[in-house]
Amino acid sequence: MQEHDEGLKLTRREVLIGGATSMAAAVAPSITALAAEVAATPTPRAPVTTKVSMQVNGEAHQLELDTRTTLLDALREHLHLTGTKKGCDHGQCGACTVIADGRRINACLSLAVMHEGDHITTIEGLGTPARMHPLQKAFIKHDGYQCGYCTPGQICSAVAVLEEIRDGIPSHVTADLAARPRVTNEELRERMSGNICRCGAYSNIIDAINDVAGGRT
């Protein structure tokens, strides 16, 4: 009985070799399947580019862009108009607000190729330090900013908001849809709600817009 037991004894080296062999045999099918999957994966295609023509701040531009380029990246990276800020890049903060053919939009949510022939206005196009837009002056007068990161989008949005009210476009808080909306704090807060100020300068922003609109309600 003792001789039989001694015959079954394995050295430590033999045990390790056996274990490694078993592991290799178990893993081999997975490696083969992975290699087949990689081989079947199509080769990435080169980016598709196209020419896009637009008027930006009154100046004609023709750009050669990847069709996936957002209007925000076209403005910042290709035209170097860095006043328009990239905040959340998901259309939730309003920092990238620009005016496209008279309508305010989130530039991060719009592809540049969608704006062929459009007239785009950014904060640089509203005014300069030497000749500021009335709303730019009002933001300074009423301390409508603190860190300033959201300010370009706030001002572009405010310009469009006053145009919307002048054009009689109602908002969700307009009480009488048959009447022209008025510049009130409630209207301004609702219309500016898509522009977030993480510093919390909201009341000063409303004061600035009211100042330009001539309203004090």
List of domains in the chain:
2-40 (no CATH), 49-125 (3.10.20.30), 129-213 (1.10.150.120)
Strands in 103-106's sheet, in edge-to-edge order, are 59-66, 49-56, 119-121, 97-100, 103-106
pLDDT at 24: 59
Contact 135, 192 (CB under 8 A): no
pLDDT confidence bin for 9, thresholds 50/70/90: low
pLDDT at 188: 97
pLDDT confidence bin for 32, thresholds 50/70/90: confident
Task: State whether the Cα torsion 149-66-98-171 is positive or negative.
Answer: negative
pLDDT at 45: 77
What tens digit of pLDDT does each residue of 39-90 get? 777 777 788 999 999 999 999 999 999 999 999 999 999 999 999 999 999 9
Nearest partner of 116 among 104, 101, 103, judged by Cα = 101
Kindly report the average pLDDT of the chain as a whole number.
Answer: 89
Residue 50 makes CB contacts below 8 A (sequence gap 6+) with 64, 65, 67, 113
pLDDT confidence bin for 37, thresholds 50/70/90: confident
Nearest partner of 83 among 163, 154, 142, judged by Cα = 154
Ramachandran category for residue 101: left, alpha or beta (phi over 0 → left; psi -120 to 50 → alpha): left
